[in-house]
Structure 1
Amino acid sequence: MRTVLLSKHDELYLEKCAQENQFSYGIIVGHQADLTKSIVVHLARNNEEDADVEDLADVRLTISDINSQALASQWLSASKMCPGSFDVIGIFVSSVRSDVVNEQSAEFKNAKKLFSDIYDLLLKSNSSFGVYTTDVAQTDFVFLSYSLADKKVLCKNYSYGNGGTFTNMEYKFVEKPFEWIQLECSYDLDDVLPILDSSRRVNIEDQFQNIIVSVRKNLLASEVFLQNEVVEDTIDLQAYIKKKKTKVDQHKPTSASGGTATVASNTTNSLPQLASEAIIGGGEPIRASIVLPVKCQLSKPTDIKVREFSGTLHMSGIIATKVFCNPRNSIADVKRFVRDDVLRSLITRIQVYCDGLTDPYVTNEALYISEPPRRVFFSLPSEGPSTSVGAVVQFSEYLFRGEAPTVVVAQAKQILDVELDPETISVEAEGLPDDSNFTNANTGADRTDDSRIMPSSMPKPELSRSLYMVGIAVALLVLLASVALHYILAER
């Protein structure tokens, strides 16, 4: 039977929600420790209640009154802020009345309908829902209700499909703090994709979707190395760390870049590849790498062809990731979490960028430069006794150039119901692009007093045709060189 583990702080938060608003609801952010245990990382009540109601104590709200649209919006927004090892795993209800913990009450029946409505809204409102991860989409969720009158909790597992079903689920309030081990990863993106759309006006959003498909394909084919070696997927992270600690003096690398280079040369016979460095927190740092195979290794020989296309799409930059794992997580889980975090961060910043586009089309004669928002990190403020040991759990948000950390403060309050100090937000994980890249691209173009030179969320597409042709020529040379290299290697 599946079990949900909560901290004493979670119990106090449920009590606080019922005392302050008489009836509250929100999302549950959790972590899958193993096949049968989920750890509640954070509870966040929904802040979309009617601001015109001065005294909520006089309003007898029920589950049927919950705004499913507002809850689905909070669910989706929080999912984008979670690291790859965390997910929104369900919803909670906190009330002064006892019927919310009675399985025979109308409230319990309304909860099933609420789940079904929310899931449908998530599927309709976000085409990427279910593709945030490199694994299968989530279909089992947690329903947690708390009664202040009885000081009781009802916890059920909700399965989507066939109208939705509730099954029994255990819950425990754990006295011992949860332990977290942190992984940090700097994932380099530097690739060129063909634009196969022959239309004169190209849809930018469609091209960004092609980036997501390409990166996801590469991540699924990648291998994650720990300390420059392949680690068996079936062992757990705790056992691996203990084993490495006994040999820390012999295996301590001098630098992160040196470790990654060793992996590249020893595992791929010096073939070019894309690698990322990661650090596993908790004790002595352990370095790891995500190694992606070269493209010709992902394709059949018959798939390599010389084709005409309308342009190229060059993606370049760094995705900074932070993942938090339980010591009992298997190495297979750890690898999946790192891949998921890279993909989730890429999809999120593309969605945020596209949401601000006034016109998603650009002519194929133009050189279009885009600067999606960069990722920033913040820790959840501690309240009362510590509920965790080891690494401090962090979530993330995305800022465009020129936006202040106060934007993150507002989002954290609205979505996660936490108060942040702007000074504590880490904005250095991902640096801003070099201004010279944008200045050079605008050389020779007619300029007005706008943000064309300074990269913004909405860059201008009108650039010189000569630069565009140079880009095509360079891309063709790269393609021909790749084909030649393939035949040389094939003959050997």
Structure 2
Amino acid sequence: MVRSVICETYLEEYLKSLSKKQGTSVGLLIGQPSNHGKDHIIYLNKIKEDDGPDQENKGLLDIENQHVSQHALVETRILPGGFYVMGIFVIYPKSVFEDSDLLRKVKTMLVDIRHTFDSNVLIQGNCDELDGGEKLVFYYSSSSNIFGCKSIALKSDNLSVKPCDWKFQDRATSWHVMSTYFETDEVFVLKKKTEDQYDTEANLTNCVENVRQQLEKSVVFFDGGPIEGTQSLEHVIKAKKNDQFLVHVYSPSHSQQDISTRKIVNFAGTMQFEGVVSSKVFVHPKNTIAEVERFVKVDILRSLMSRVQIHCDSLVLAEDPVQDTIMLNELPRRIYFPIRPKSNPILFSEYLFREESKETAIPHIRETLDLSVTLKELNATVETVPEIKEEEQHDAKECETGGARKGAERPNVIVLGTLSAIVVLIVAIIAFYVTK
């Protein structure tokens, strides 16, 4: 069976515009794969070079694979659960499918993207359950506007190429939003990187891994109860009186765990990982309830890990780390913005630190997605800034911190205090959320 892909019609105009401006472009295909029926491409965007200029001055063979794969990782942080980097598009005078060198080049790009996601598992960039480990290559001629698409089987030894049916279609499907909040409040043992240094990223990643394990055992209720996973969303919608879904994620209770299996261990410090995460996923009527549940869990996990990576990218580590300290690592809060305000309900995400205004997000969105958004289109009220206790603020001014994520300043708050032979790392994601 030939893989079928439906792409929103307005995106063809974007491709035509790129082909007129420059002879060579490489970009990402963003969409939702399916193991039955049709895949949907809901967005695509070109990738800019590291030094700023676009790729028109370079041939396809000159484009760095690592730059493409790193951009795919950064862009995936922005995507809600259920949407993935489904492949790449190439605008070029020659067909990449008719030139062995060009085809080899795009194959290696896709392999590098997959390896990058394999190295960042908690970002949930790969989706073998739905796409079978295959990624798309869409070719658009900059000389004739002729296009074609094929899929590359990345799990095969020879990276076999398979035919693919690509269609541009206006309003290919309807999208429904599933909104929920996920709360976490856990305490973990701090692990050391060296004898006298703690690895912040490793410890925060361990927290997210724990959330992943919780989500695997969690159940998702829709409108107050479970729904059989094999049912299609279309069937469930027909039985509802309205389109709104109340979604709740329930995790196993610690009180049910067998205390006899517990061990007493010695440790030098603890980490409290707490907060409430906003989640919005977008699904179409042909999705099954099991897929919707999976997308909700992926969204929560991806959002948490994205915050950790963005925060750790911003850290400037002291040369002589102080041991008896309280460290407050405040992860950024989530904001939402539309990719096509008038006719598409789908929202992507950005992340802002406490000191950052909404204006900070605009350049990064433009750079990452080649998308212009206005301040009015940014919804920064879904998650609120966490409150910091007075004792945690006490010595904040004594510590100079900083850092930058490309395109935006990324401050970090570290609060120092003295405890007897213990290090406590408190992570505040968000403390409160606005209820309906």
Structure-2 change in CA distance of 1:304 and 1:118 (3 Å): closer
Give the match for residue 325 of structure 2.
Answer: 366
Pairing 1:71-90 to 2, within 5 Å after superposition: 71-90=68-87
Give the match for residue 29 of structure 1.
Answer: 30
Between the two proteins, what is the percent identity of the paired residues?
25
Secondary structure at the counterpart of residue 218 of structure 1: helix
CA-based RMSD of the aligned residues comes to: 3.1
Mapped partners of 2:14, 2:125: distance in 1:
30
Say if 2:179 is the partner of 1:184: yes
Q: Greater shift after overlay, 76-85 or 177-186?
A: 177-186
Structure-2 change in CA distance of 1:216 and 1:136 (3 Å): farther
Instruction: State the one-letter code of the partner of 2:201.
Output: E
Mapped partners of 1:190, 1:362: distance in 2:
27
Secondary structure at the counterpart of residue 419 of structure 1: coil
> Which structure has the larger Rg?
1
Which residue of the other structure, out of 195, 198, 203, is the alignment partner of 2:199?
Answer: 203
Instruction: State the one-letter code of the partner of 2:36.
Output: L
Pairing 1:217-236 to 2, within 5 Å after superposition: 217-236=213-232
Q: CA offset at residue 468 of structure 1?
A: 5.8
Secondary structure at the counterpart of residue 234 of structure 1: coil
Q: CA offset at residue 302 of structure 1?
A: 4.2
Give the match for residue 319 of structure 1.
Answer: 277
Say if 2:355 is the partner of 1:440: no
Contact 1:377/1:396 (<8 A) preserved: yes
Say if 2:39 is the partner of 1:44: no
Q: CA offset at residue 196 of structure 1?
A: 5.4
Q: Report Cα offsets for 1:13-58 as digits up to 9, x if no partner.
A: 21111011122220010112443421001010112287679x95xx
Secondary structure at the counterpart of residue 74 of structure 2: helix
Instruction: State the one-letter code of the partner of 2:284.
Output: N
Question: Would you tell me which structure has more helix in proportion to its own residues?
Answer: 1
Instruction: State the one-letter code of the partner of 2:200.
Output: I
| Contiguous gaps of at least 5 residues in structure 1 | 246-282, 473-492
Instruction: State the one-letter code of the partner of 2:308.
Output: I
Mapped partners of 1:442, 1:150: distance in 2:
62
TM-score, normalised to structure 2, is 0.85
Secondary structure at the counterpart of residue 212 of structure 1: helix
Contact 1:33/1:326 (<8 A) preserved: no
Q: CA offset at residue 231 of structure 1?
A: 0.5
Q: Report Cα offsets for 1:261-287 as digits up to 9, x if no partner.
A: xxxxxxxxxxxxxxxxxxxxxx44221
Q: CA offset at residue 458 of structure 1?
A: 2.5
Mapped partners of 1:353, 1:40: distance in 2:
30
TM-score, normalised to structure 1, is 0.76
Give the match for residue 242 of structure 1.
Answer: 238
Contact 1:373/1:457 (<8 A) preserved: no
Aligned residue pairs, count = 412
Pairing 1:363-402 to 2, within 5 Å after superposition: 363-382=322-341, 386=343, 388=344, 392-402=345-355
Contact 2:150/2:164 (<8 A) preserved: yes
Find runs of 4+ consecutive structure 1 residues off by over 6 angstroms. Answer: 449-452
Contact 1:215/1:343 (<8 A) preserved: yes
Give the match for residue 419 of structure 1.
Answer: 372
Q: CA offset at residue 352 of structure 1?
A: 0.8
Pairing 1:19-168 to 2, within 5 Å after superposition: 19-48=20-49, 56=56, 61-95=58-92, 97=93, 99-100=94-95, 102-103=97-98, 106-120=101-115, 122=116, 127-129=119-121, 132=124, 139-161=133-155, 162-168=157-163
Q: Greater shift after overlay, 83-92 or 70-79?
A: 70-79
Structure-2 change in CA distance of 1:327 and 1:148 (3 Å): same
| Contiguous gaps of at least 5 residues in structure 2 | 403-409, 426-436
Q: Greater shift after overlay, 27-36 or 367-376?
A: 27-36
Contact 2:122/2:301 (<8 A) preserved: no
